[in-house]
Amino acid sequence: MDKPHRVILDRVAGYADEAAAYLRRRRMSRKPFARVHWAGGRSADFPPETEEGRALFIASARLIDVARE
């Protein structure tokens, strides 16, 4: 018969393994995008493959470069 603390330890280890696997899957599936928010609460996402997304990524890269100077 298992000791009581080992049952709890196994359960916690199982949850930790599931959480680590979830984070790995999430990291692999994340793709860059630009999100724009307007006054009034409306927002939209623009992937870099679109014309608007490319323009937003270029503009944000320029802003980062200017901020570094």
Residue 67 has pLDDT above 70, yes or no: yes
Q: Is 35:41 a contact under the CB 8 Å cutoff?
A: no
Residues 41-57 pLDDT 10s: 999 989 888 999 999 99
The domain segmentation of the chain, as residue ranges, is 1-30, 32-69
User: In the structure encoding, which two tokens stand for residue 60, read together?
Assistant: 């944000």
Higher-confidence residue of 32 and 18: namely: 18
Taking the C-alpha atoms of residue 54 and residue 49, their distance in angstroms, rounded to an integer, is 7
Q: What is the pTM of this model?
A: 0.50
Residue 6 has pLDDT above 80, yes or no: no
DSSP designation for 65: H
Percent of the chain with pLDDT over 70: 87
Q: Is 47:57 a contact under the CB 8 Å cutoff?
A: no
